Amino acid sequence: MTTAQAPDSPIGQAAGSATVPRHIAIIMDGNGRWAAQRKLPRAAGHRAGAEAVRKVLQAAADHGIEVLTLYAFSSENWRRSKEEIADLTGLMRFYLERELKTIEKEGVRLKLIGDYAAFGRDLAGQLERAVERTKANSRLTLVVALNYGSQAEIAAAARDLATAAVAGTIDPSTIDEKAIGDRLETAGLPPLDLLIRTSGEVRLSNFLLWQAAYAELLFTDTLWPDFDERALADALSRYASRQRRFGGR
Ligand code: IPE
Ligand code: IPE
Ligand code: MG
């Protein structure tokens, strides 16, 4: 079925039964509660969460998912204690060091969204080197959202467009959904098909608000450290049973 929408608009995708999503995003929530249930420190929950990332990344590649976007740190997570933030950044460094070879070998391309420079030169440099080393890979794109906030991302796109309008390089009457989408950090990625949040919370917490316009939303009670290959397979089969309409019938 074809629609009158522009073909590159996410909303212009063909309606029908969903099959395998091209682009999945996950709000990886529940590390703290996983640790609390075991009377462990929160850091242990984050460590277990990093193991889940490893498994789910592998499983997503095996399922032929093109893009996996993971919410690793929100622009609001700075409200946490200094200790927890240090644990999280230390873990990112450790994970990247340990997993980069595998990521490269598995054909994964790393992409970053969010203002990751706020994590300091060391980690930012390490992240950028990993992006550089994996840029030619094409099996799966792993997008990691670090110090990411969707409202700030949209505001930056609006600022960009306003600046161009004032400079006279863009006619304000031509600013449409595509103009904004093209200025988001996710520009160039396939439309978001499936957004998963673990841990039973039912909110988006400032993640991919624009991009989720027509994504299928899936909320599961599973805590992120318990989310594994089977949980992903289950999410994919729930997705496949959805009827996507994009406003059609
Ligand atoms: C998600 O787990 C990890 C990050 C937000 C970085 P939480 O740390 O939010 O775990 P809960 O929600 O407290 O269980
Ligand atoms: C969202 O989880 C951010 C990440 C998973 C990185 P939070 O635990 O920070 O979200 P809230 O505070 O429960 O909304
Ligand atoms: Mg949480």
Q: Indicate left, alpha or beta for 6 from its phi (over 0: left) and psi (-120 to 50: alpha).
A: beta
Best substitution site from 31, 53, 83, 227 to test ligand 1's pocket, by max atoms within 8 Å of Cβ?
31
User: Could you tell me the distance, in angstroms and rounded to a whole number, from the CA of residue 32 to the centre of ligand 3?
Assistant: 7
0.85 surpassed by pTM: yes
Atom 12 (ligand 2): residue with closest C-alpha? 205
**Nearest residue to 230 (alpha-carbon basis) of 46, 58, 27:** 58
160, burial (CB in 10 Å: exposed 0-12, middle 13-18, buried 19+): middle
Cα–Cα–Cα angle for 97, 230, 49, rounded to 5 degrees: 35
Q: Which residues pair with 110 in a beta bridge?
A: 142
Ligand having the closest approach to the CA of 205: 2
Neighbours of 75 (CB within 10 A): 19
Atom 2 (ligand 2): residue with closest C-alpha? 29
User: Could you tell me the distance, in angstroms and rounded to a whole number, from the CA of residue 249 to the centre of ligand 2?
Assistant: 35
pLDDT of residue 1: 38
pLDDT of residue 86: 98
pLDDT of residue 15: 77
Under CATH, which number does the domain 23-148+193-239 receive?
A: 3.40.1180.10
The first and second tokens of residue 209, run together, are 């608000």
**Catalytic residue from among 8, 62, 77, 115:** 77
pLDDT of residue 9: 56
pLDDT of residue 13: 72
Q: Is 31 a known active-site residue?
A: no
Query: Going residue by residue through the chain (249 aa), what tens digit of pLDDT does each one get?
Result: 334 444 455 566 777 766 999 999 999 999 999 999 999 999 999 999 999 999 999 999 999 999 999 999 999 999 999 999 999 999 999 999 999 999 999 999 999 999 999 999 999 999 999 999 999 999 999 999 999 999 999 999 999 999 999 999 999 999 999 999 999 999 999 999 999 999 999 999 999 999 999 999 999 999 999 999 999 999 999 999 999 999 998
Write the DSSP string, 179-235.
HHHTTSTTTTSPPP-EEEE-TT--S-TTSSTTTTTT-EEEE--S-GGG--HHHHHHH
Residue found by looking up tokens 């304000």 in the block: 172
- DSSP, collapsed to helix, strand or coil, labels residue 16 as strand
Cβ atoms 185, 114 nearer than 8 A: yes
Buried b (16+ CB within 10 A) or exposed e, 15-27: beebeebbbbbbb
Q: Which atom of ligand 2 is nearest to the CA of 145?
A: 6
* Residues having C-beta closer than 5 Å to ion ligand 3: 29
User: Could you tell me the distance, in angstroms and rounded to a whole number, from the CA of residue 64 to the centre of ligand 2?
Assistant: 27
Ligand having the closest approach to the CA of 32: 1
pLDDT of residue 3: 41
| Ligand 2 near 116 CB (within 6 A) | no
